[in-house]
Amino acid sequence: MGATLHVCITCRAGLKPAEGAPCAGARVHEAINALAVPEGVTVKPVECLSACKNGPSIALTGPGRWSYIYGPVGEDDAAVILEGAAAYAGTSDGIVPWRERPALFRKNVIARLPAMEANS
């Protein structure tokens, strides 16, 4: 089963966007959608991951896997985010070996959560 890459599309990252311009989170989402999404990864927009202090933020989830939340990320990080998402999708438990994680993910982790299956 695949992984889901959630992208917060409402994050303003503390800035008011120019009138009519997309906010910072929406720009990250657009940049990701402009690239080829790796097999096994589904991109889903989400309204607010409540990580506003560290936004824009993204999250990786998947059945049986630890979930990870990352931020801040920017539109220039789109390719790296998808690379990290592909590595995550390739695991069974969500735990990518440290050295194989993109530097962005190593540095900008906000939090992680145990697999839901183990919780309920």
Footprint on this chain of its own copies (rule: CB under 8 A): 1-2, 4, 6, 44, 46, 48-51, 54, 57, 59, 61-63, 67-69, 109-114, 116, 119-120
Residue 115 CB, nearest approach to its own copies (Å): 9
Please report how close the Cβ of residue 21 comes to its own copies at its closest, in angstroms: 25
Q: How far is the CB of 27 from its own copies (least distance, A)?
A: 20
Nearest to 6 by CA among 52, 53, 54, 41: 41
- Which of 23/70 has CB closer to its own copies? 70
Beta bridge partners of 5: 43, 60
